[in-house]
Amino acid sequence: MSQEEKKVAKTGNEAFAEAMRQINPDVVAAYPITPATEIVQIFSQFVADGMVKTEFVPAESEHSAMSACIGASACGARAMTGTSAQGLALMWEMLYIAAGLRLPIVMAVVNRALSAPINIHCDHSDTMGARDSGWIQIFSENVQEAYDNLIQAVRIAEHPDVCLPVMVTTDGFILSHCLETLAMLSDEQVSQFVGPVPNRTDLLSSLEKNQPITIGALDLQDYYFEHRRQVAEAMVKAKRVIALIGDEFAKLSGRHYSFVEPYRLEEAEAAVVVMGSSTGTAKEVVDSLRASGKKVGLLKIRVFRPFPEEEIVKALGKVKVVGIMDRADGLNAVSGPLYPEIAAAFYHHQSRPQLLDFIYGLGGRDVPPRDIETIFSDLLEVTSSGKRNFTVKYIGVRE
């Protein structure tokens, strides 16, 4: 643990803005949307106060904000933004372009339900909607993780083997607006950790070398497939890089991050898989059930893209029954989006748990410990009876 590290009280949005100040990107282009507004609002004050060298572009929409980040990044700049829900949805076509052009843009996303009905509170439907866009996706359990993840995201995105955009998420209001204590690195430490932008093939330097290039030209039947194959490979390589940057960050901060975080899974018969802020609540429930002799645990997924298939299988392979907590609905008449990916991960393995899906917390519906106790009680019922009576259950909805 570093001597210079200090504990401070920050909301999730403040922590994101502070991390951005310390990263000191070349360009930030943004459009406000609740509950992510404060991130770039606070950051714009840093710009106005001359604390960063960033060119701040207040765009007329999220589509334009992402477009400006794409232009800046294509010119070799370190570009960042932040958004939420409808804003992320409005960026949708540009998300694919950022990834397809291999631009290492970093975005803070505050998870919020998608309309309709209109709602400003947390669920994961916005981020889940972007899961196949070619962006790396990192979820944060608390404000400390949000801060740490955003700093690591810059290095992951810009790594020459990766060159993919990264979104780091917090849960709307639960993390974005709640004050937590966190340990911040010094400005100098962050500045050294992120370093200068690595050399890439970019528009500005190609002009300087008098060898102009085109980025994003028409790419039809002959070449599109090869370029998309490269994106797929970059996502595979990102796995090694995320681990590498995690190790380097651990040396700097004393805080180690991996793809998943197993919690009390030793000899567990039942476990939940959870992402984001509900992990903290679920850990409390696991502790109290363990205290009463129940063999339960949990697995937190921190990195959703690239999908940590091996790590999930390794962590849960010996558990009898696993409940997957989906804070988004797939609206596919089967399950939420996390369930089928975990089921697929286990398909070719002999030793695999029974899986049940629990859709919870949509539109910011509170997730009290008793709801997670209900999930565990359903799971333990299956461990004792061996019978699985449903695939998906909605938790916390009025029946």
Partner 1 sequence: MKTAEEKKSTWKELPEGDVLEGASSLQFKTGNWRSIRPVHHPEKCIHCLLCWIACPDSAIKVKDGRFQTIDYDYCKGCGICSHECPKKAIEMVPEKK
Residue 76 or 323 with smaller CB distance to partner 1: 76
The structure tokens listed for 353 are 């748990």
User: Least distance to partner 1 from the beta carbon of 94, Å?
Assistant: 15
Contact 302, 138 (CB under 8 A): yes
User: Least distance to partner 1 from the beta carbon of 236, Å?
Assistant: 13
Q: Is 166 in the site for partner 1 (CB under 8 A)?
A: no
Q: Phi first, then psi: what are they for 39, rounded to 5°? A: -55, -55
Q: Is 382 in the site for partner 1 (CB under 8 A)?
A: no
Determine the Cα–Cα distance for residues 39 and 43; give it in Å rounded to an integer: 6
* H or E stretch at 245: helix 224-253
- Binding-residue pattern over the window 73 to 112 for partner 1, x denoting contact by CB under 8 A: ---------------------------xxxx---------
Near partner 1 by CB under 8 A: residue from 227, 240, 349, 370 = 227
Q: Is 229 in the site for partner 1 (CB under 8 A)?
A: yes
Q: Is 373 in the site for partner 1 (CB under 8 A)?
A: no
Closest CA to 380 of 247, 286, 278: 286
Residue 179 or 213 with smaller CB distance to partner 1: 213
User: Least distance to partner 1 from the beta carbon of 202, Å?
Assistant: 9
Span of 6-14, 26-34, 228-236, 242-250 interacting with partner 1 by CB under 8 A: 228-236
Residues 6+ apart with CB under 8 A from 260: 299, 300, 301, 302, 303, 308, 311, 312, 315
Contact 103, 152 (CB under 8 A): no
User: Least distance to partner 1 from the beta carbon of 225, Å?
Assistant: 8
For β-strands 136-139 and 303-305, DSSP reports them as antiparallel
Span of 17-25, 222-230, 348-356, 369-377 interacting with partner 1 by CB under 8 A: 222-230
Near partner 1 by CB under 8 A: residue from 188, 208, 219, 287 = 219
Residue 160 or 386 with smaller CB distance to partner 1: 160
Sheet strand arrangement including 303-305: 55-58, 27-30, 79-83, 106-111, 166-171, 136-139, 303-305
Question: ∠ CA(71), CA(76), CA(81), 5° rounding?
Answer: 55
Determine the Cα–Cα distance for residues 266 and 289; give it in Å rounded to an integer: 14
Q: Is 217 in the site for partner 1 (CB under 8 A)?
A: yes
Near partner 1 by CB under 8 A: residue from 49, 60, 222, 266 = 222
Span of 8-16, 174-182, 207-215, 336-344 interacting with partner 1 by CB under 8 A: 207-215
The structure tokens listed for 258 are 């991996």
Closest CA to 244 of 230, 232, 258: 258
Q: Is 211 in the site for partner 1 (CB under 8 A)?
A: yes
User: Least distance to partner 1 from the beta carbon of 67, Å?
Assistant: 16
Residue 73 or 253 with smaller CB distance to partner 1: 73
Residue 102 or 294 with smaller CB distance to partner 1: 102
Q: Is 391 in the site for partner 1 (CB under 8 A)?
A: no
Near partner 1 by CB under 8 A: residue from 195, 198, 216, 386 = 216
Sheet strand arrangement including 260-263: 260-263, 296-301, 270-274, 321-326, 354-360, 392-395
Rounded to a whole number, what is the largest CA-CA distance in the chain?
72
Residue 223 or 390 with smaller CB distance to partner 1: 223
Residue 233 or 373 with smaller CB distance to partner 1: 233
Near partner 1 by CB under 8 A: residue from 234, 268, 324, 372 = 234
Contact 48, 91 (CB under 8 A): no
SS3 303: strand
Q: Rule CB under 8 A: which residues touch partner 1?
A: 100-103, 163, 201, 206, 211-217, 219, 222-223, 225-227, 229-230, 233-234
